[in-house]
Amino acid sequence: MEKKLVKTVFVTVGTTQFDDLIQTICSTSVTEELNKLGYTDLILQIGNGKDPERVDEQNLNIKFYRFKNSIEEDISNASLVISHAGAGSILDVLGAGKPLLVAINENLMDNHQIEVAQRFSNEGFLYYCKPSQLVETLQDVNFDALKPYEPGKPEKFAKVLDRIMGFTQPDS
Amino acid sequence: MDSNLEKSYFSPIYYLVPTFTLLYVAYRWFQGPSQTTKFTEVRTKPASIVSVIGSGGHTREMLRLMGALSGNYSPRHYILANTDSISESKVHAMEDDLRRKKNFKTEYLIHKIPRCREVNQSWFTTVAYTIYSIFYCIPLMVICRPEIILCNGPGTCIPVCLVGWIIKCFGIVQTKIIYVESICRVDKLSMTARLVYKFADNIIVQWPELQSKYPKCEYYGRLV
């Protein structure tokens, strides 16, 4: 028998809870859409939230867990990551070079974390939407059009500090 | 006897010393940070650094910065909230990594201070805890004598920076207070950044929009 190609979507909510996102992703309309796009598996990291109410495995193989010491492996095995707007999660996923869709938590509208998702989206590194817009967004966007992410450069800071402290001459 | 006792209570020293101390601190406050020192030759003596570790995203960003430093900074003091064991293990992991990859042999120390503010704590207890942390920090900072205080925004950095700045005012040590704003801040500086804005020596931001809004900020691209 021909081995089926596995394409995984990984969902992460970090250390918070984001039931709205988890429930929406497990809904038939979203899993159908993901299936249409060629994804076969769905892994959810649900944090402190409630277990998904209804796991409809007709379209995708679904697994979920609350926390792991490191979600690095799940990120690197995924073909698409859907994440909450936490800067840590965003930087982890972009750093791993994975296509990223950020789901904005509407219950935290004054939360400054949204700014960073918008800003990275302006740069063309990711897409973002509200959980209620997931289906349309998945239909509309083209993850291949995302720009490759350039990681931040802490070396620049090290140089600046060396200059401030006089370890290097100002013009070097 | 009684009148002598009374006299000693009203001795000028009891009000003159605190008054002049306060006036001097206020003077230094309005004077702002000292001008950047001009160096005539390249420094070789290592500089001691205090790095204030927050939690979660703050820790991650701070460790990225600390991990990129050259070998010129020693000893490296990490100050973290006493409730934060996760960050502590991350600091050890990062330093172990430096030893292996960059062959650092310099020492690092971890100090714990009371936390100023848990999430959802009321503002009254926050203020009380901050005052407590300030007193807690005084001996610590006098012992560390940091030449650099590096922080990026957790509440814990307020008492550390304040005490660092006061001991600097009194000439105990020449400290540079360097604040690196979190990548999360795009449109507006964080509360902590606005609190240290006046007396920090350098405020480094990671988005150009902030630099145009707050003239003191420096921008060198995304750092984390």
> A70: left (phi > 0), else alpha (psi -120 to 50), else beta?
beta
pTM score over 0.80? yes
Q: How many domains does chain A have?
A: 1
Is the confidence metric ipTM above 0.90 for this complex? Answer: no
- Chain B positions contacting chain A at CB under 8 Å are 36-37, 39, 42-44, 47, 56-57, 60, 64-65, 67-70, 72-73, 147-148, 150, 176, 178, 180, 182-188, 190, 201-202, 204, 206-207, 218, 220-224
Give me the CATH number covering residue A51: 3.40.50.2000
Give CA angle at A109 (B156, B58), nearest 5°.
25
Is A1 within a domain? Answer: no
In angstroms, rounded to a whole number, what is the distance separating the alpha carbons of residues A105 and B114?
Answer: 32
- Would the CA dihedral through B141, B145, B146, B149 be positive or negative? positive
**pLDDT tens column, A45-91:** 999 999 887 777 888 999 999 999 889 999 999 999 999 998 889 99
State which amino acid sits at residue A6. Answer: V
Residue A70 forms contact with B (CB below 8 Å): no
Residue A3 forms contact with B (CB below 8 Å): no
The candidate with the shortest Cα–Cα distance to A83, out of A129, A26, A39, A38, is A129
Is A169 within 8 Å of B184 when comparing Cβ atoms? Answer: no
CATH topology of domain B45-219: Rossmann fold (3.40.50)
Is B186 within 8 Å of A119 when comparing Cβ atoms? Answer: yes
Which positions ≥6 away from A57 have C-beta within 8 Å? none
- B47 neighbourhood in chain A, CB within 8 Å: 165, 167
Is A171 within a domain? Answer: no
- A91 neighbourhood in chain B, CB within 8 Å: 60, 183, 224
pLDDT tens per residue across all 172 residues of chain A: 555 689 999 999 988 889 999 999 999 999 999 999 999 999 999 999 998 877 778 889 999 999 998 899 999 999 999 999 988 899 999 999 999 999 998 887 566 778 889 999 999 999 999 999 999 999 999 999 999 999 999 999 999 999 999 998 766 5
- Predicted confidence at residue A20, as pLDDT, reads 93
Task: Give the domain extent around A46.
Answer: 8-165
Is A2 within a domain? Answer: no
Residue A2, number of CB atoms within 10 A of its CB:
4
- Predicted confidence at residue B156, as pLDDT, reads 84
pLDDT tens per residue across all 224 residues of chain B: 555 556 666 677 778 888 888 888 888 888 777 666 667 788 899 999 999 998 778 899 999 999 999 999 999 999 998 888 888 999 999 999 999 998 888 889 999 988 766 666 778 888 888 888 899 999 999 999 999 999 998 888 889 999 999 999 888 888 999 999 999 899 899 989 999 999 999 999 999 999 999 999 999 999 99
Which positions ≥6 away from A137 have C-beta within 8 Å? A101, A127, A129
In angstroms, rounded to a whole number, what is the distance separating the alpha carbons of residues A44 and B71?
Answer: 41
Q: Give CA A73 to chain center in angstroms.
A: 14
The answer to whether B92 touches B130, Cβ cutoff 8 Å, is: no
